[in-house]
Amino acid sequence: MTVSKPFSFSVLQTDGRARHGLVRTARGDIRTPAFMPVGTAATVKALYADQVREAGADIILGNTYHLMLRPGAERVAALGGLHEFMRWPRPILTDSGGFQVMSLAKLRKLSEEGVAFQSHIDGSRHMLTPERSIAVQGLLGSDIQMVFDECTPWPCEEDAAEVSMDLSLRWAERSKAAFAAQAGLGRALFGIVQGSVYPRLREVSARGLVDMGFEGYAVGGLAVGEGQERMLATLDATVPMLPQDRPRYLMGVGTPEDIVLSVLRGIDMFDCVMPTRSGRHGQAFTRFGRINLRNARHAEDPRPLDPESACPAASQYSRAYLHHLFRCGEYLGPMLLSWANVWYYQDLMAGLRAAIAEGRLEAHCAALREAWARGDRVD
């Protein structure tokens, strides 16, 4: 077995509770705070891998549930692993499949062993356990893997959330035992803190995971409908219980504002489908805030989305042309806006990293919020 260089994390600078750091993996470094574009089915939708990298992304996310069903983890492994399969040589994080299984409420049966479910593709029956989830992630060859958990839905009463959280802790222990088979490959396993919006449960979950010992810790079960106020309160209660020398990952978040507010609370890593999903539906994220290119007011607007952006999609195509593409249903419209949005998110993270490093994060975040609120006043 070839031994790869070990996974590590270091905090380079802090500003309040916010951290600028560096995650080192066998396939490259990840600058934090980091946003991971989502590559659900071995592709960041509507983009070439080269475009994702040129936008500034150090890492992307792959989806265990979808890839195990199609094309199959064993097939991906036989073809050289997920990095080779999708032409992305840099780090990849894979989720565990827990979130997708939660969304299959009518097609699944939960037990101590794991989750029996029917494929949403063809109705075939499958069993996903902590051991199988880790095995699939190992076959995919991801650099950062996640324990198998039950993503507690919202709304959820405290008693039900406690049962779910306890099950996730037991599954985390089994996930860690299964991950031992990948020792020496330079990969990392992250625990996932659950407990819904209840501080007592979050504390029990965090302490249990820290006692087990993981290379990083995620906060899961948020951005599922609880609202920003509850999400931030849960972060305030949870993040202080996580080790200072490990990366902290907020799963499934989110909007630029949510990311900024979470960075201020000490979160290091994020993922969300929002940049590409919004791009496919005609919505652009810019330093002026959101712009809906389907709106008729853009039909004769010769300006680009942002003339100062380094992204060609944002600086070289007129709003009128982008509006035309969406009105006509042309594929190029979603491609260009997805590109512009992924680039904007990476610019957002780069700005946050620089502000932390220079000790001016509070002023930087205030300027971001002011610009979003002001919008593009020349419209």
Q: Determine the pLDDT at residue 249.
A: 98
Confidence of residue 379 (pLDDT cuts 50, 70, 90): very low
The residue annotated as part of the active site, out of 15, 143, 258, 271, is 271
pLDDT top residue among 106 and 353: 353
Number of H helices, E strands in the chain: 15, 16
Q: Report yes or no on 293 lying in a domain.
A: yes
Q: Indicate if 199 and 295 belong to the same structural domain.
A: no
- Among 80-89, 102-111, 323-332, 352-361, the range scoring the smallest mean pLDDT is 102-111
Q: Report yes or no on 378 lying in a domain.
A: no
Instruction: Return all residues near 337 (Cβ < 8 A) that are at least 6 apart.
Output: 278, 279, 280, 282, 283, 284, 293, 313, 322
User: What is the average per-residue pLDDT within 6-20?
Assistant: 97
Q: Report yes or no on 376 lying in a domain.
A: no
Binding site for substrate: what residues are annotated?
Answer: 95-99, 149, 194, 221
Q: Determine the pLDDT at residue 103.
A: 75
Distance CA 255, CA 273 (A): 10
Q: Indicate if 155 and 260 belong to the same structural domain.
A: yes
Q: Indicate if 154 and 249 belong to the same structural domain.
A: yes
Tell me the whole-structure pTM to 2 decimals: 0.97
Could you confirm whether 258 is annotated as catalytic?
Answer: no
Q: Indicate if 156 and 265 belong to the same structural domain.
A: yes
Indicate if the pLDDT at residue 27 is higher than 70: yes
Could you confirm whether 122 is annotated as catalytic?
Answer: no
Instruction: Return all residues near 98 (Cβ < 8 A) that are at least 6 apart.
Output: 133, 146, 148, 149, 150, 151, 168, 192, 220
Burial track 192-226 (b if 16+ CB lie within 10 A, e otherwise): bbbbbbbeebbbbbbebbbebebbbbbbbbbbbeb
Q: Which of 224, 255, 272 is where one domain is finished?
A: 272
Q: Determine the pLDDT at residue 10.
A: 98
Instruction: Return all residues near 244 (Cβ < 8 A) that are at least 6 apart.
Output: 11
Q: Determine the pLDDT at residue 120.
A: 86
Confidence of residue 302 (pLDDT cuts 50, 70, 90): very high
Q: Report yes or no on 379 lying in a domain.
A: no
Structure confidence by residue, pLDDT tens digits, 218-243: 999 999 999 999 999 999 999 999 99
Q: Indicate if 154 and 89 belong to the same structural domain.
A: yes
* DSSP-based three-state secondary structure for 312: helix
Mean pLDDT of the chain: 96
Indicate if the pLDDT at residue 245 is higher than 50: yes
Structure confidence by residue, pLDDT tens digits, 139-165: 999 999 999 999 998 999 999 999 999
State what percent of residues in the chain have pLDDT above 90: 91
Distance CA 268, CA 356 (A): 12
Q: Indicate if 60 and 198 belong to the same structural domain.
A: yes
Domain of 248, CATH number, reads 3.20.20.105
Question: Hey, what are 44's tokens?
Answer: 């960041």
Binding site: what residues are annotated?
Answer: 95-99, 149, 194, 221
pLDDT top residue among 379 and 372: 372
Q: Indicate if 217 and 286 belong to the same structural domain.
A: no
Q: Indicate if 92 and 151 belong to the same structural domain.
A: yes
Indicate if the pLDDT at residue 76 is higher than 50: yes
Q: Indicate if 42 and 163 belong to the same structural domain.
A: yes
Based on the structure, what is the number of domains in the chain? 2
User: What is the average per-residue pLDDT within 166-173?
Assistant: 98
Q: Indicate if 110 and 145 belong to the same structural domain.
A: yes
| Residue 296: C-alpha distances to residues 316, 323, 326 (Å) | 20, 8, 11
Indicate if the pLDDT at residue 1 is higher than 80: no
Q: Which domain range does residue 98 map to?
A: 8-272
Indicate if the pLDDT at residue 378 is higher than 60: no
Q: Indicate if 267 and 341 belong to the same structural domain.
A: no
Confidence of residue 296 (pLDDT cuts 50, 70, 90): very high
Q: Report yes or no on 224 lying in a domain.
A: yes
Confidence of residue 105 (pLDDT cuts 50, 70, 90): low
Question: What is the per-residue DSSP string for 97-147?
Answer: SHHHHHTTGGGEEE-SS-EEEE-TTT--EEEE-HHHHHHHHHHHT-SEEE-
pLDDT top residue among 107 and 219: 219
Contact 268, 335 (CB under 8 A): no
Q: Which of 215, 239, 272 is where one domain is finished?
A: 272
Q: Determine the pLDDT at residue 100.
A: 79
Instruction: Return all residues near 243 (Cβ < 8 A) that are at least 6 apart.
Output: 210, 217
Q: Report yes or no on 342 lying in a domain.
A: yes
Structure confidence by residue, pLDDT tens digits, 46-55: 999 999 999 9
Q: Indicate if 268 and 293 belong to the same structural domain.
A: no
Q: Which of 219, 251, 272 is where one domain is finished?
A: 272
Q: Determine the pLDDT at residue 2.
A: 55
The residue annotated as part of the active site, out of 95, 143, 258, 268, is 95
Indicate if the pLDDT at residue 5 is higher than 90: no
Indicate if the pLDDT at residue 3 is higher than 60: no
Q: Report yes or no on 3 lying in a domain.
A: no
Q: Report yes or no on 370 lying in a domain.
A: no
Indicate if the pLDDT at residue 377 is higher than 60: no
Indicate if the pLDDT at residue 255 is higher than 80: yes
